[in-house]
Chains A and B, each alone.
Chain A
Amino acid sequence: MKTKIFLVVLVAGALCAVQTTRAHHAFAAEYDEKKPITLTGIVTKMEWANPHGWIYMDTKQPNGTVKHWTIETAAPSQLVRHGLKKADFTDGMTAVVKGFQGIKDPALANGRTLVLKDGRSFYIGSVGGPNDGAEKK
């Protein structure tokens, strides 16, 4: 009986340990810490939504073509906490986004810092990203 309980606790503990390493929609599952990017372009749309937001951005490539980026942001509660408002976004505005590129999808990025046209800068990263200093604590 004691052995059985011990085994159950052991398996449960192991599962918890696995969960911790990949917890919270892990950054590492989708984004490459070694591919920092700075995007300057036009915000075509902002989805102010849970569980995290999306900035759709068009940038001009060196060869003249336009690349359509999809940039993940933190949840609205986090964005609000860092001073952003839904009204700060208008379709067609220019902006600079710093972040990290997706592993599988080269047009996907994890946003870390957003700089608006008026120069205001915001932390837009989700919990669990790399320690790149983007978040001012």
Chain B
Amino acid sequence: MSSIVPTLEWLEALGWTTAIRESPWDYPLLETAHVASVVAFAGLVIMMDLRLIGVAFMHAPLAQIQRRLFSWQMAGFVPSMATGVLLFFVDPLRFYGNVFFWVKLVLLALAGLNALTFHLKTYRMAERWDEHPQAMGRARRAGVVSLLFWSATIVSGRLIAYNWFK
């Protein structure tokens, strides 16, 4: 694991990463873009989750909600990942030494895995609810897991600002 440190030191010392890290405005703008796209993504995911759990938008078919939200969710997801990776590149050693950063990465992976399983498996079954009544329960579970894991991802992301465990 420690073998990655020289690479991170190299990354941190690069001209452009240093310039952004030391800049008065580029870094705050990058942070703002990250938070804004995360908010857009998470808000749209929560809408889908509430539908899956059976709390909201029950008047509309699941397929319709999914179809309408998905491209907008991706429009939030892609820039949030891009700005997130950039923020890491700009100050890699700080993140490397931060517990909450690693917790966030694990949660992000779990949330992503849940989303992937839902879209590739459960949702396919959901198109034929009648033949697969168990899909209803799985969809609900995917909604609950999604809500919990994405929330936890965001909370741990915010906590990176606190160096409680050095």
Enumerate chain A interface residues (CB-CB to B < 8 A): 4-5, 8, 25, 29-30, 48-51, 75-77, 80, 86
Q: Are B162 and A80 in contact (CB under 8 A)?
A: no
10 closest Cβ contacts across the A-B interface? A50-B27, A77-B24, A25-B161, A76-B24, A80-B24, A49-B21, A48-B22, A4-B55, A50-B21, A49-B22
In the bound assembly, the distance between CA atoms of A48 and B28 in angstroms comes to: 14
Q: Residues 97-109 of chain B: 1 if any A CB is under 8 Å from the residue's CB, otherwise 0?
A: 0000000000000
Residues of B within 8 A of A86 (CB): 22
Enumerate chain B interface residues (CB-CB to A < 8 A): 20-25, 27-28, 31, 50, 55-56, 90-91, 161-163
Residues of A within 8 A of B20 (CB): 50
Residues of A within 8 A of B23 (CB): 50, 76
CB distance from B20 to the nearest CB of A (A): 8
Q: Are A51 and B27 in contact (CB under 8 A)?
A: yes
In the bound assembly, the distance between CA atoms of A49 and B31 in angstroms comes to: 14
In the bound assembly, the distance between CA atoms of A49 and B94 in angstroms comes to: 11
Q: Are A50 and B28 in contact (CB under 8 A)?
A: yes
Residues of B within 8 A of A50 (CB): 20-23, 27-28, 31, 90-91
In the bound assembly, the distance between CA atoms of A25 and B158 in angstroms comes to: 9
Q: Are B162 and A25 in contact (CB under 8 A)?
A: yes
CB distance from A73 to the nearest CB of B (A): 13
A8-B55 contact in complex given A50-B23, A76-B22, C-beta closer than 8 Å: yes
Q: Are B162 and A30 in contact (CB under 8 A)?
A: yes
